[in-house]
A and B are shown apart, each in its own frame.
Chain A
Amino acid sequence: MSKQGSTQTFTRRQVLIAASGLALAGFVSRVRPAIADAASTQEAIKKVIGGKDPKPGRIKLKLPEIAENGNTVPVSFSVDSPMTKKDYVKAVHLFAEANPRPNVGSFYFSPTSGKATASTRMRLLKTQNIVALAEMNDGSVYMTKTKVKVTIGGCGG
């Protein structure tokens, strides 16, 4: 303020501005639900697969490089697996790092699936990484990550 190092005093106006700012911040955070980030995605992943450490490889994601409409972004994945009773993919989980909530979907397979490949369509709020995890029957988990550019965000306002 006026003199550095002196005890800060606030005028009535400043206090009011600060208070309205806080109220506004509160309001905005209520309107726009906190957006997920890499850390909260990690938390969501932990909830799904437990404390397992995902290894890279075996799972491939197919996504458009640029998604013009974030409301409907096609996504496919396939996991390299013989899909036999001894060695098969139990589940695949998809996460979007910068959506209001990182979870997208979980897909469950069995040896009768023949191959662990599937496609769906998802909503993306903005440009972000998509994380895919493949859970094998022996408990190992494989992971891949792909970035998608989103021109117009989905999820609604």
Chain B
Amino acid sequence: MATKPRVKVPQQVKKGEVFEVKTLISHKMETGLRKDKKTGALIPRKIINKLIVKYDGREVFKADFHPAISANPYMSFFTKATKSADMEFTWVDDDGTEYKHTAKINVN
């Protein structure tokens, strides 16, 4: 259901620089308030409820999403460059599935 995590980070950053990280993932973000047009039954809620971002093993950003977050949740935030390391992104689905992505941060 949820696929194609996309992350945009600068190709290179200077040590100490505060840079922007943009993220996007495909997901319907079913609110749990919509009804099936044919049966009239409520479509159960299924959203990504959390995004956790680790940089060099340490958590640098976290977001809790509610059903009011749009489909294909977009999230951008800032962080400070410390050293060249991996930035790991984890999106957590209501059903417990984790979608992961890793981006390289090059610090010079």
Q: Which of A100, A108, A115, A157 contacts B18, CB < 8 Å?
A: A115
CB-based contact A72/B78 at 8 Å? no
Quick one: given A114-B18, A115-B18, are A107 and B66 in contact (CB under 8 Å)? no
> 8 extra interchain contacts, Cβ-Cβ under 8 A, other than A118-B77, A156-B33?
A72-B71, A99-B68, A105-B64, A113-B18, A113-B77, A118-B76, A155-B68, A156-B34
CB-based contact B79/A112 at 8 Å? yes
Quick one: given A112-B82, A113-B60, A156-B31, are A107 and B70 in contact (CB under 8 Å)? no
- The stretch that binds B, out of A13-21, A57-65, A119-127, is A119-127
CB-based contact A103/B68 at 8 Å? yes
Q: Which 7 residue pairs spanning A and B have beta carbons closest together? A: A114-B18, A156-B34, A121-B70, A114-B80, A108-B62, A103-B66, A106-B64
Number of B interface residues in the complex (CB < 8 A):
29
Residues of A within 8 A of B76 (CB): 118-120
Q: Which of A99, A101, A115, A121 contacts B74, CB < 8 Å?
A: A121
Pairs across A and B, CB under 8 Å, 21 listed? A31-B35, A100-B31, A101-B66, A105-B63, A105-B66, A106-B64, A107-B61, A107-B62, A108-B63, A109-B77, A110-B59, A113-B78, A114-B18, A117-B78, A118-B76, A120-B63, A120-B75, A121-B74, A123-B68, A155-B68, A157-B34
CB distance from A145 to the nearest CB of B (A): 16
Check A134 for interface membership: any CB of B closer than 8 A. no
| Alpha-carbon distance A115/B76, docked complex (angstroms) | 12
Check B58 for interface membership: any CB of A closer than 8 A. yes
| Alpha-carbon distance A121/B67, docked complex (angstroms) | 11
Quick one: given A108-B61, A112-B82, are A119 and B75 in contact (CB under 8 Å)? yes
Check B99 for interface membership: any CB of A closer than 8 A. no
